[in-house]
Amino acid sequence: MALLPILCYPDPRLHTVAKPVSAFDLALETLSKDMLETMYDSNGIGLAATQVDVHLRLIVMDTSEEHNEPWVLINPELLEKSEETLIAEEGCLSVPGIFDGVERAQEIRISYLDLQGQRHALHATDLQAVCIQHEMDHLMGRVFVEYLSFLKRSRIKAKFVKAQRQNTRA
């Protein structure tokens, strides 16, 4: 088991488009476990491989109260999304400390593969649906702050650029 470093906005690697997983091997299993460990350690409810600089279509999630329902979603595909939307306060482990409302479909259907390469269908609503859409965005190289106004995004970017400059000087 290992904790993986999480890329921080505005790291350009967060804009990489992930490739489908094709090898269902031990390395994939190890990566999933390490991503789950990293997600739980950071108190996150989801983590996309993109955030740990691995550009494969792999998501881990756990939206349960008890943090005891780990999900691994491989090569997820959006099958259907509702017309109805909701605005939830989102945060991101790659943009720590920033929370803002984003409009998403309230209900989605996806298909995905498990670690054995078996295909499943999943219907998700509310927080689960929001989280899956947030994670699938990461796999497309999209970070939630890109939905905010230009002014907000500029302020967030400036804040993180400044923090990173101070980190590298220290």
Residue 135 appears among annotated catalytic residues: yes
Listed ranges 7-15, 62-70, 88-96, 150-158: which one lies at the site for Ni ion (CB under 5 A) = 88-96
Closer Cβ to Ni ion, 31 or 131, answer by number: 131
Interface with ligand GNR in residues 50-89 (CB under 6 A):
51, 88
Separation of alpha carbons 10 and 24, rounded Å: 31
The reply to whether 92 sits near Ni ion by the rule CB under 5 A is: yes
- Residue 6 phi, psi (nearest 5): -100, 130
Binding test (CB under 6 A) with ligand GNR, winner from 36, 105, 110, 131: 131
CB nearer ligand GNR, residue 70 or residue 91: 91
Which residues lie near Ni ion (CB under 5 A)? 92
Residue numbers annotated as active site: 135
